[in-house]
Amino acid sequence: MTTSAKRHALLRGTLDMLILRTLQWRPMHGHDIAKHIQRTTEDVLQVEHGSLYPALHRLRRKGWITAAWEWQKALNREFKFYNLTPGGRRQLATEEAQWRRVSKAIARVMWPALGTSED
Amino acid sequence: MNREDDLDKELRDHVDLEAEDRMDAGLPRSEARAAAARQLGSVALIKEDVREAWGTAWIERMRQDLAFAARLMRKTPGFTATAVLTLAIGVGASTAIFSQINAVFWKTLPVDRPQELRSLAWFGQKHPFVAGTNVIAGPSVAGIETFGSFSYPAYKEMRDGTRTFSQLACWADLGEARPVVMRDVGFGTVHFVSGNYFDTLGVRAAIGRILTPEDDTPGTTAAVLSEPFWRRSFGGRADILQHTIDLNGKAFAIVGVMSRGFFGIDPSTIPDVIVATGAVQLAASTVNPLQNPVLWQMCRVFGRLRSGVTDQQARTDVEPWLRQAADDAVTAAATMQRRPRENDYDAPRLFLLDAERGLGTLRDAVSTPLLILMAVVVAILLIACANIAGLLIVRGAAREREIATRLALGASRGRLIRQLLTESLLLSAAGGALGVALAYAFARTSATLISRFMPTVYGADRSLGVIVSPDARVLIFSAAVTIVTALVFGGLPACRSTRIALISSIKRSKTGVGRSSRLPADKLLVAIQAALSVLLMIGAGLFLRTITNLRETPLGYDPGGLLYARIEPRTGGIPSAQRAAFFERAVKRFETIPGITSVTATDNPPLGRAATIFLGAPAARFCMPGMTPHAERDASAALAGVAPRYFETLRTPVVTGREFDWLDGEAGNAASSGAPDPSRPRFPAIVNEAFARRFLAGKNPLDSRFGLNCPSQPSAIQIIGVVADSKNLPRQSSSPRIYVPMGGSINVVTLILRTGGRPEAMIPTVRRAMADVSVNVPTFGETTPIELREQQMQQERLLTNLLIAFGAVALLLSSIGIYGMLAYLVTRRTSEIGIRMALGARPAAVVAMVLRESIGPVAVGLALGALTAIVAARWVNTLLFGVTAYDPRTIAAAALVFLAIASLAALLPARRASRIDPLGALRAE
C-alpha cells in the first residue's frame, strides 16, 4: 500500500454507492471495506475512516445493508459483518445509473469533441 | 450487548485490524497502534456522527443537559429550594383555581346525553298572570332579565302539548321561604320534582330506585336521598332503605340514594332529599300550589329535546302552550280578585337555554370573582417568575467564565441556550409537580372556598354541586403553565448569559471595573414586580374599604345585640287557630328572661333568608281609595307580619303614630268578641316612610286607609303608624313596606331578642325558656343579624383576605427582587465604589448612588401598576361599595406602603456599599 500517493477526498454522496458496490462482492466488515476501496482505486480514493462508520450505520438504518456479528475462525475473533439486502441492490442500481448520467454530462462539458461515450 | 457497546467494539476492532496491517508492513507494535488510532481519527466524534445517523443524538444531548442541570440543582440547595417552592405555590394556586373554573364552566352534567337538555325561561314586560312578584329570577339572555320559574298549570300545559321535547320535567327548591324541618336533622334542602325528573335527566340511583311518575301523586311518601346527606345524617348505613325520614311531621319512606356527584340540574345547590311534587303540600301554605295558576315560582322547567329538533322549532312548538296557560291565569286572577280581566298585557316569550353544563346560576354568580381570582394568581405567578429570572440572571453572571469557556471550546450558542433552558425546565417541572400535588391535596378546601364565594342566593351554608377532581383539561393546563413559566423566567437569562464577548470574559476578574452594570433586564423585572405588587395592594385596599363601608352603612335598625331564634309550631302540633296565642305566650315568656331587654317576633326578619332569596321580600299588592288604575298596577309593597315592640326591639324610630300591641292582632280581635273598641281599628297597619312618600304624598298617613283584599275592600286597613326606612342589605335601596300584626297562619316565626350582653351566649337560656312554653316546639336556626350580615359579605371578605395575603406575598417577593438586584450591582461595582470612596466620596453619597439605581424601575413600576388598576376598574366596580375603583387615596396609600418596604429592602445593600473598605476592594482586584 503506497502511503505517499496523493489521495483525493471523496464526494460524500458517492461513499454510499461505493460501499454498496463493495458489499456486492461479498459480506465484509468495516475495516475490509475501507481497505478494499483504497486498494482497488490504488490509493487514489481515500476513505476517511471516520466517515465510514457513520455511513455504514446510515445505510443500515435505511435498510440497504444488514449487520451481524460473526465468528472468524482464522483470527479467533468476532467481527461485525455487513451484508447487502435486495433493497440495497436496487438502490445500488439506481445510484449507478445516476452516476453514469452525471459523468456523461460532465464528460460532454469537458471534452465535447469526443461525442457520446461508450455505454 | 447494547448499541453503544456494539459501536465501541466495532471501532476497537477496526483499530486492531489496522494496527495489524501496519505491523505486517513492518512497523513496530506501538507505532502501528498509534498510527492506526490516528488514522481513525477522533473516536468521540465518530460516535457522535453515528448517533446522529441513528437519529438519537438529541436524546443523548438531553440526557447530558438534564444530568448537568440536576447536578447544579443539588449543588445550590438554597436557590433550588426557594425556586421550587415559589413555583409550587404559583402553579399549585393557578391549578386549584383553574380546576374550579373548569368545574364551574366546562364540566358537563353527570347525566345521559347532556347536550340534549334545555332549561326554560320566559319574559314579559307586564305579567298580570303572576301574583305579585312570586317568580324566580332567571338568567340574563341578550340583555333581558328573564324569569326562571313557571306555574304548575303552565308546566302541565307545556308538558302535555309539546311534540318537540321527549320529556319536560319540573323541579322546585322552595328554599327557606317554605322550609322543611326534618326532625333530628334540623333544616334541610328539599327538592320537589315531577315524576319524570330522573328519567329526563337519564340517571339511576346508586342504592334502591329513583322516583317515577307513579310516585307523583298527592300524598306520596317516597323520598330519595343525596349521597352527601346519606353519609352525613345517616352515617352511610347500608340498610338505609329500611328507614324513614320525617319532613314537617310526615314520615317519608326512603326508596333510594343517588350516586356521588349528582346534584340535579343546578350546580349551585345539592338537595338533601328529593320528593315528588305531589308532596309539595307539606311545605306550602293553604292554597294548593299545584293548582294555583298565578303562583309562578312553583316549577323550574327543563326538558330533553327529541333528536333532530332545533331550538327554534322547540320554541315555536312550546311557546303557544305557555301563552295559553298565561291567558288562563289572567282570567283566573281577575276572578280571584273580583275585578275585570286585564286584556292588554305582554304575551310571554319563551327562552330555551343550553343545560348541558347545568343552570347558569353558579356561573353567573361566581364568574366575576373567579376571574378576578385567576388574575390575582396569574399576577403572583408572574412575580414569582420575575423573581426567579432575576436570580438566574445573577447566577448567570457568576457563571460567565464557565459559559465563556464552553463557547470557546466549540459549543454553539444555541446549544448553550438549550442547556440553560433545560435547567429552567427541570426547576419548573419540579415546582409544577409539587404544585399540582398540593392543589389536589387541598382540593376539598378549595371547593369549600369556592362555595364561600356563592352569594347568599340559596343560603350561606348550602353545599356546592360541583365536585373538583383530576381532569385532563386541568392537567394539560398545569403542564402548559409549567412550561410557559420555565420559558418566561429562563429564556431571558439564558439569552443574556450567552451573549458575551469571549476573550474579555475569560480574562476579566470576577469583580469588573468600568462597564457599569446597566442591566436593563434586571430593572425591567423589578419594574414588573413593583407594578404587580402595587396592583394587588390597591385591590386589597379597595376591598378593605368596601367591607368597612358595608359594615358601617346604617340599615335603619340596630343589629348589634340582636338574637334571632326560629320556631315552627306546626310540627309541634299547634293548630293554626291557636298559633297567634302561642306566639304571644312565647314572646311573653322570653320577656321574663334576665338579660333580655325586649322581645318581638316576625315572619320576615331583616337579613333573614326570605328577604334575600327572591326578587324582593314577599310582596303584596294593595289598593287605595282614589287610586287611579294606572297607579294601582304599581301598588305593591313588601309585607311583613310583626309582633308588638318590633320597632322598639330593632331600634327603628317610629316617626309618627304608634306600634302594635297585643290587642291589635287576631288574638286581640278574637278576644274582644264583644263590642269592638271604636278607638282601635279592626285591621291596623304600620307603613314606612318610603311607602308614605310614594303612595301617601301630601296626605296625613294616620288618616289614610288602604286594602289588601282588592278590589272588594279598598279601605279595610287603617294606618296607625309610620316608621323610618330600613333595608336588608347595604346595597339595596329602601322600598315601601307594610307591617301588619303577626297572625297565626304563618309557619315559621322568627323571635327577635335584644340582649344586654353577647347574643350567642343567651342561646341555651332561650332554648330552655322555649321548652317551658312547649316541649314539642323547639327553637332552631339560632343566629344573629350580625352573623347573617357577615355571611352576605362572604364574597367581599374572602376577596379581601385573599388580596391582602397575595399582596403581602407579592410585596415580599418584590422586595427580595429589589434587594437581589441592588446586591448584585454592589458586588459588581465594588472596585468602582472603592475608588470613589478612596477619592473622598462620603458614605451617604454612596448610599444615595445605590438607591438611585432602584428609583427608576420602582417609579415606573408604581406608575404602571396604578395605571393598570385604573384601567381594570370597570370589572371590579360592581363588587365595590362606597368607593370607586379609581379612588386616589387608596392608590396613594398602596404606593406609599410599597415605597416604604422597597426602601427598606434597598437600604440593606446600599449600606453595605457604603461600608466597603476602599483599600480592600482595590486589592481584591
Q: Is the pLDDT of residue B913 over 60?
A: yes
Asked if B686 contacts B739 with a C-beta cutoff of 8 angstroms, the reply is: yes
Residue B513 pLDDT: 40
Contact A54 B52 (CB under 8 A): yes
Residues of A in contact with B18 (CB under 8 A): 31, 49
Residue B553 pLDDT: 85
Which of A68 and B1 is assigned the larger pLDDT? A68
Q: Chains A and B: how many Cβ contacts under 8 Å?
A: 50
In whole angstroms, what is the distance from residue B365 CA to residue B769 CA?
41
Contact B55 A61 (CB under 8 A): yes
Asked if B286 contacts B745 with a C-beta cutoff of 8 angstroms, the reply is: yes
- DSSP secondary structure of B399-441: THHHHHHHHHTT--HHHHHHHHHHHHHHHHHHHHHHHHHHHHH
In whole angstroms, what is the distance from residue B878 CA to residue B901 CA?
31
Q: Is the pLDDT of residue B284 over 60?
A: no
Residue A23 pLDDT: 92
pLDDT tens-digit profile of B185-198?
A: 555 678 889 999 99
Which of B412 and B895 is assigned the larger pLDDT? B895
Closest residue of chain A to B46, computed from CA coordinates: A50
pLDDT tens-digit profile of B40-53?
A: 888 888 888 888 77
Residue B1 pLDDT: 62
Q: Is B556 left (phi over 0), alpha (psi -120 to 50) or beta?
A: left
Contact A54 B46 (CB under 8 A): yes
Among A1, A15, A31, A47, the strongest candidate for a mutation testing the B interface, having the largest count of B CBs within 10 A, is A31
In whole angstroms, what is the distance from residue B536 CA to residue B378 CA?
11
Chain A residues bordering chain B (beta-carbon distance below 8 Å) = 1, 29-31, 35, 48-51, 53-55, 57-58, 61, 77, 79-80
Mean pLDDT, to the nearest integer, of B37-42? 84
Q: Is the pTM of this model over 0.95?
A: no
Residue B662 pLDDT: 83
Q: Is the pLDDT of residue B391 over 60?
A: yes
Residue A8 pLDDT: 53
Could you say which of A30, A55, A61 has the minimum Cβ distance to residue B14?
A: A30
B346 at A interface, C-beta within 8 A: no
Closest residue of chain B to A82, computed from CA coordinates: B10
If we measure between CA atoms, which residue out of B7, B21, B42 comes closest to residue A80?
A: B7
- Percent of chain B past pLDDT 70, that is, above it, reads 85
In whole angstroms, what is the distance from residue B461 CA to residue B903 CA?
45
Which of B249 and B657 is assigned the larger pLDDT? B657
What mean pLDDT is reported for chain B? 80
Could you say which of B13, B21, B41 has the minimum Cβ distance to residue A49?
A: B41
Q: Is the pLDDT of residue B256 over 50?
A: yes
- Percent of chain B past pLDDT 90, that is, above it, reads 10
Q: Compute and round to an integer the Cα radius of gyration of chain A.
A: 16
* Confidence category of residue B361, pLDDT binned at 50, 70, 90: low
**By mean pLDDT, which of B622-626, B644-648, B918-922 is the weakest?**
B918-922
* Confidence category of residue B618, pLDDT binned at 50, 70, 90: low
Residue B363 pLDDT: 67
In whole angstroms, what is the distance from residue B881 CA to residue B62 CA?
55
In whole angstroms, what is the distance from residue A7 CA to residue A3 CA?
9
Mean pLDDT, to the nearest integer, of B502-525? 55
Among B14, B31, B43, the strongest candidate for a mutation testing the A interface, having the largest count of A CBs within 10 A, is B14
Residue B467 pLDDT: 55
**By mean pLDDT, which of B180-189, B708-717, B819-828 is the weakest?**
B180-189
Which of B173 and B327 is assigned the larger pLDDT? B327
Could you say which of B39, B50, B52 has the minimum Cβ distance to residue A49?
A: B39
Contact B13 A80 (CB under 8 A): yes
Among B20, B40, B42, B52, the strongest candidate for a mutation testing the A interface, having the largest count of A CBs within 10 A, is B40
In whole angstroms, what is the distance from residue B750 CA to residue B611 CA?
13
Mean pLDDT, to the nearest integer, of B744-759? 83
B46 at A interface, C-beta within 8 A: yes
B40 at A interface, C-beta within 8 A: yes
Could you say which of A1, A48, A79 has the minimum Cβ distance to residue B13?
A: A79
Q: Is the pLDDT of residue B275 over 70?
A: yes
Q: Please give the single-letter amino acid code of residue B518.
A: R
Residue B610 pLDDT: 53
Question: Nearest C-alpha of chain A: how many angstroms from B4?
Answer: 12
Mean pLDDT, to the nearest integer, of B878-889? 82
pLDDT tens-digit profile of B754-778?
A: 998 888 888 888 888 888 888 777 7
Q: Is the pLDDT of residue B458 over 50?
A: no
Residues of B in contact with A57 (CB under 8 A): 50, 53-54
Mean pLDDT, to the nearest integer, of B729-756? 83
Query: Strands, DSSP E only, in B577-658?
Result: 596-602, 619-621, 636-642, 654-657
Question: Nearest C-alpha of chain B: how many angstroms from A52?
Answer: 9
B41 at A interface, C-beta within 8 A: yes
B37 at A interface, C-beta within 8 A: no
Q: Is B706 left (phi over 0), alpha (psi -120 to 50) or beta?
A: beta
In whole angstroms, what is the distance from residue B214 CA to residue B93 CA?
49
- DSSP secondary structure of B453-475: HS-TTS-TTPPPS------HHHH
Which of B460 and B818 is assigned the larger pLDDT? B818
Q: Is the pLDDT of residue B13 over 60?
A: yes
Residue B455 pLDDT: 43
Question: Which residues of chain A fall short of a pLDDT of 70?
Answer: 1-12, 46, 114-119
In whole angstroms, what is the distance from residue B449 CA to residue B471 CA?
19
Mean pLDDT, to the nearest integer, of B828-833? 78
B11 at A interface, C-beta within 8 A: yes
Contact B13 A29 (CB under 8 A): yes
Contact A77 B53 (CB under 8 A): no
Taking each helix axis from N to C terminus, what angle separates B57-75 and B43-54, rounded to the nearest 10 degrees?
A: 110
Could you say which of A48, A58, A77 has the minimum Cβ distance to residue B53?
A: A58
Q: Is the pLDDT of residue B167 over 60?
A: yes
Residues of B in contact with A53 (CB under 8 A): 7, 10-11, 14, 46, 49-50
Contact B53 A51 (CB under 8 A): no
Residue A12 pLDDT: 59
Contact B10 A51 (CB under 8 A): no
Residue B447 pLDDT: 64
Residue A115 pLDDT: 54
Residue B462 pLDDT: 44
